[in-house]
Amino acid sequence: MKLNLNRFNQHLNAQKLAPAYLISGDEILLVEEARDRLREKARTLGFSDRQVYYVDHQFDWNKLLNAANNLALFSEKMLIELHVVGGKVGTSGKEVLSKYFNHLPDDKILAIITDKLDQNAARWEWIKKLDQVGVYVQIWPITSQEFPRWIHSRLLENGLQVQPEAVQFLAEQCEGNLLAAKQFIEKISLSSPQGSGDPVDREVIDTKLVASSLNHQSKQTLGLNDIISIISDQGHYDVFELVDYTLLGDLKRVMRIFSHLQEAGIEPILVLWALARELRGLIKMEQMLKTGKALTAVLSAHHVWDKRKPIISQALKRFCKDRSRPVPIFLELLQFAGQIDLVIKGIEPGDPWQMLEQLCLRLGY
């Protein structure tokens, strides 16, 4: 049985779980949340034991068969998790999974967690068998059009009423990154007197409820200035001001704010997102200027806020004068931002804060 994420959440309200699940998708946050909700539901139904396996090309598939055949210790039922990259289980995995699905144990639930499967996955024999006996949860990416609505629903889950302008602001700052949005919302929930601290059950948040909540607001609605103040660190030393003073070339203030952010424990990925977002916008504006467009028209086309127009204008005028560079400075800095991203993710060695400092200095010089 194939289910999307919303139907899967509803499915978990039942008093009985399926014997097998496949949770697949590229949105890591949504996949992990779906896995965690399955874990919690299984625990409430008595599956208090859990065995987790990470499958690679050397994985011994007999471990799954052994776990399935072992009698539950002290009558504890078990949730077995298989984490598989791309759903690639190999020849041995296909054979073992087929055996498993043909002889499902009563005291076990199998959960296969994987990233996005390729387009031929529906024809794989083991997935066909799982589809017959269990639940296949396909998690699709949140589109740019859906992202503000997703943020709004998450705010509501945390007991927060937020004006549409502020929701759009959060969506623009996070640029589709669900993890960044989650972190912002958690900070707003903890800092705002509205926040419940504990999310509401996700199953009750739907389009009708969102619309109803907007028409029947029992709490004070947070506006754009409220959100900016909350997600800023003590109101003024924040990531967004770091970006603005960097563009203005005020390096003394940049370094003061930068040190404060680092000492306050701000995640470096948030600083990188803000800087990279600005660089992408500057690249597009620079390209428009090269076609002969007037600066005022370019700023309007990119919906630059009035209070930021002098800041963006100064940065464009300062950097667009040098036409001799083989690679435009904004593009060069965006490429450097890409290197920082690899360091933050642990793919490349390095100190992300030191590299972020270099990025700010190069952009603000």
Pick from 208, 231, 254: which residue ends a domain? 231
> Among all chains, which residue has been given the structure tokens 């389009």?
207
Alpha-carbon span 11 to 191, nearest angstrom: 33
Among 107, 139, 171, the domain boundary falls at 139
Instruction: Kindly state whether residues 7 and 128 are assigned to the same domain.
Output: yes
* Residue 3 to residue 87: CA distance in whole angstroms: 18
* 183-44-182 Cα angle (round to 5): 5
The CATH number covering residue 272 comes to 1.20.272.10
Q: Are residues 115 and 157 in the same domain?
A: no
Examine the fold and report which residue of 231, 255, 274 is the final residue of a domain before the chain moves on.
231
Q: 240 and 204, same structural domain? A: no
| Same-domain pairing of 223 and 327 | no
Residues 325 and 286 in one domain: yes
Query: Cα(45)–Cα(24) distance, rounded to whole angstroms?
Result: 23
**Which residue range forms the structural domain that includes residue 27?**
2-139
Could you read off the pLDDT tens digit of each residue along the chain, which spans 365 residues? 889 898 999 999 888 899 999 999 888 889 989 999 999 999 999 998 898 988 888 889 988 988 888 765 555 789 999 998 777 888 899 989 988 998 888 889 999 998 888 777 778 888 889 989 999 999 988 888 899 999 999 999 888 899 998 998 888 777 677 877 888 888 888 876 665 554 444 443 344 444 444 444 445 788 887 887 776 644 444 787 899 899 999 999 999 999 888 888 888 888 898 898 889 888 888 888 888 889 999 888 887 877 788 999 988 888 776 555 444 688 889 999 999 989 988 888 999 999 999 999 999 88
Two structure tokens written together for 138: 């396909």
Count of Cβ atoms closer than 10 Å to residue 87 Cβ: 19
Number of structural domains in the chain = 3
